[in-house]
Each structure stands twice: as C-alpha cells, then as structure tokens.
Structure 1
Amino acid sequence: MKLLVVEDDPDLRRQLLTGLNSKAYTVEECADGKEAVYMGSEYDYDLAIVDIGLPGLSGLDVIREWRRAQRPLPVLILTARGDWQDKVEGLEAGADDYLVKPFHMEELHARVNALLRRAAGHASPQMNYGPITLDTVARAVLVHGDEIKLTSYEYRTLEYLMIHAGKTISKGELTEHLYHQDYDRDSNVLEVFVRRLRQKLDPDSTLNPIMTVRGLGYRFALEATE
C-alpha cells in the first residue's frame, strides 16, 4: 500500500515514516500544502495522512482541493487541536478520520488499517478466500489454518492483490503502489515475487489463486468465503 504523509514537523514526519515503513507500507512525504495538492492530484495513493497546521496552505485546504479534483483517496487528518469544532471542520472538508496529537503509533496503525479496509469494501481485518486467510492487523497469511512465512515484499504484493480480488492489476500499478521510488522496478523482479507467492500459497498447484492475465497483469482469482 502506498501512502502520502503531509507533515511539516520534521521529527514527527520522521517518526511517521519509520513507523509506517515498519508495517510494510510504501510511504512518500512532503511538508508543504501546495506540494501536497500537486502530489495528491498527480499521483495515485491508497491513503494520505495530513496535518491540519501546514504552512502556507492548510491541511484542510489541501483536502478541499483534492475533493474538488475528485480525488477519492482516504484521508486521515492529524491535529493538535482537540476541539470538536476542528474535528467537524476536518470531516466536512472531506477527511475520513482524525487523530489528535500526541498519539500512539499503535492507534495510527489501527486507523490507517481500518480506512484502507473500508476503502476496499472490507469490514473485517481478516480476508478469507477459500483456504487462504490474510489478517491485515497481524500481517499474517494462513493457508488451511497454517501460517506461511512471507517476505515484506511478498506480503505487500499478496495484500494488494487480495484487497483488489477479482480485478486485474497491471504490473505498473503493482510496482507503483508497493515499492519505494529508489527500488529496482524491473518487471522481472515482480514476476519473481509472484512466482514465490504461488509456490508458498499453492505448492500442489490445485488452487491457482493468482492468475496471469496475458498482456494485462495479475488477478487474485479465489472467491471470498465467510
């Protein structure tokens, strides 16, 4: 999942980047409201974390600009103000949730996770597709009830495909949302991750959870179960 962090305090921004990277998110950052409007309008993100008190252009104005441009990305606002009026103003500007400073990183992770799930139409932190279960809170994957070990990049790839189950995801979209800007985005590397995932999820080749759509990309093909 690819996130945008908009925060002018360098110490807090560094803390956010460290905490989010530790949860296998791909994170891009900026400290200026005008730059945030540009980045959120020109690039695709799965979620944005926006501080209200930005210099120049406020976080609320940033969100309003995104919404006027029909940018649907979920937005979590950060505010040092605890007044209910400020929270209401943020939500009315188009934010989806808010978090008052100071906060615990565990709460931030929980809110980000919940917003990403809701945006993809998943109410529960566990996604069940046939014998495969992905737990977005524990960041664990089970097959027939047994946990399988995945690398950070393998988990990111599987999570993105499962959240968008049934949709064909191009290699370009996967690399854009999963990997950092300085990462080697050779499509052959992505193919290696997908091949390893298939071997770990389906060693007997009986499930075929990840389909290759020739010339278009990959699709997670299993149907959701209760």
Structure 2
Amino acid sequence: MTGSAVKILVVDDEPPIRKLLRVGLTAQGYEVQEAPNASAARQSVADDMPDLIVLDLGLPDTSGHDLLQEWRDKGLSMPVVILSSRTDEAGIVKALESGADDYVTKPFGINELGARIRVALRHRLQQQGEKAIFQTGGLSIDLVKRIVKVDGMEIKLSPKEYDILRVYVRQLRQKIEQIPDQPHYITTETGVGYRLREPD
C-alpha cells in the first residue's frame, strides 16, 4: 500500500451492509473500520480518528442524527456521508443541516458511494484551504488518495513517513502561524525541506 490509506469508519447495525462496504471500499484502496452501533462508533472515533465516516441513521442505541450532531457540537469536522433507507425529504434535510456532507439512500451502488466519498474528501480539503493535489516542482502529493510521486514516479512511503511529509507540518503551522498559508516560522525551502526561520 502506498503512503497511508484513507481510514473510513462504517457505522451500521446490519452485518451484510457492513460486509458489503468493507469489501467494496477496501477494493477501492480504503482502510475500513466498523461499528455496529453509536457506542462503538464513539469509541472508534476517540481511539483512532477516521478520515471519513459512513453513517446509518437507524442505529439501535442512538439515532444517527443525534450522533452526527454530537460530533459536530464537539467540533469534529471529518466528512460524514449518510447511508440510510429513509428517503423522506425532511429526514434528508435534517441530516444535511446537522452537518452531513452527503446523503446516499439504500439500496446503493458501491461505485457511486465511492465517488461521493472522494467528493466529500476533496470538499473538506478545499474548505481547509488546501487543494486535493499538492504540487511543487517534481513532487506531487494526492491528499485524497495519499499517493506521492516524484517526477511522475510513484514513491512508496510508510504511514509515518507520509504523516511527517504532510500532516504534522500542516498541524504545526495551524497552531503557531498567524496565517498558516503564509508561514513565517516554519518555511519551505526548495530542495531542502522545512526549516525554522532565523530571526531577521
């Protein structure tokens, strides 16, 4: 696997649906985690924050609407794609207004769901002020598929190497820079990498 696979948490109380999603999304290159109810979903998010959640509304212990609202109230911004058999307009509108990124009704096609997941991931990157593909010189990083290329050749990175390459530096800039997109303290030096800027 190249880089670190995008982690998707599937929250659904129906084992056949979870199996279908696990097989289908794994085939598309995603790392899939499963939760059969809201309690397990909360624990999974707390233990290992997913990149995206596929959420069923009809959970046995807490409604999907309430769980989504709970996450958004806590400031968690990971994309959430609702997967539900409910087709009433009021339910769909409520989910979208609660912070869902998309709504897919059962039955569904796995390829369509995969396309909607990619769109949700791209939209979230754009909202954070980032392009889906970061490019500088011969280096190209697909932030959705987590594919790194140098001069057109794909480079295999471990998950930790990928995180260091992109995520950690971005997080540091978000915390210490007044304007993260125009870094003053952690600068990028062509051909060298990142460096702490010396006093003027």
Q: Tell whether the structures are fold-level matches, with TM greater than 0.5.
A: yes
Are 1:6 and 1:51, in contact at CA under 8 Å, matched by a contact in 2? yes
What letter is aligned with 2:170? Answer: K
Residue pair 1:6, 1:29 contacting (<8 A) in 2 also: yes
Q: CA deviation at 1:37?
A: 3.0
Q: 1:97 to 1:142 in 2, by over 3 A?
A: same
Please give the secondary structure, in 1, of the residue aligned with 2:123: helix
Identical pairs, percent: 33
CA shift digits 1:84-137 (9 cap, x unpaired): 222101112221211112222222222222222222236765432322234567
SS at match of 1:167: helix
Residues of 2 paired with 1:162 and 1:2: CA distance?
A: 18
CA contact (8 A) 1:120 1:163 kept: no
TM-score by length of 2: 0.68
1:167 aligns with 2:159: no
Q: In structure 1, what is the equivalent of residue 13 of structure 2?
A: 8
One-letter amino acid of the structure 1 residue matched with residue 139 of structure 2: I
SS of alignment partner, residue 134 of structure 2: strand
Residue number in structure 1 paired with 2:138: 131
Deviations 1:124-152 (A, max 9, x none): 654323222345678765433x3x2455x
1:85 counterpart = 2:90? yes
| Cα distance change of structure 1 residues 120 and 157 upon mapping to structure 2, 3 Å threshold | farther
- The correspondence for 1:114, drawn from 111, 114, 119, is 119
Equivalent-residue separation in structure 1 for 2:37 and 2:43 (angstroms): 10
* Matches for 1:1-226 after TM superposition, within 5 Å: 1-41=6-46, 43-121=48-126, 125-135=132-142, 141-144=148-151, 146=152, 148-151=153-156, 154=157, 164=167, 166-167=169-170, 207-208=191-192
Conservation of the 8 A alpha-carbon contact between 2:53 and 2:78: yes
User: Would you say the 8 A contact 1:76–1:97 is kept in 2?
Assistant: yes
The equivalent of 1:217 in structure 2 is none
Structure-2 change in CA distance of 1:212 and 1:9 (3 Å): farther
* 1:46-68: CA deviation from partner (whole Å, max 9, x where unpaired): 21110112122111111112122
* Backbone CA RMSD of aligned residues: 3.2
Structure 2 gap segments, 5+ residues each: 1-5, 173-189
8 Å contact from structure 1 (residues 128, 134) kept in 2: yes
Gaps of 5+ in 1: 170-205, 214-226
The amino acid across from 1:103 in the alignment is F
Aligned residues: 172
Which amino acid is 1:128 matched to?
Q
Q: Distance in 1 between matches of 2:89 and 2:130?
A: 26
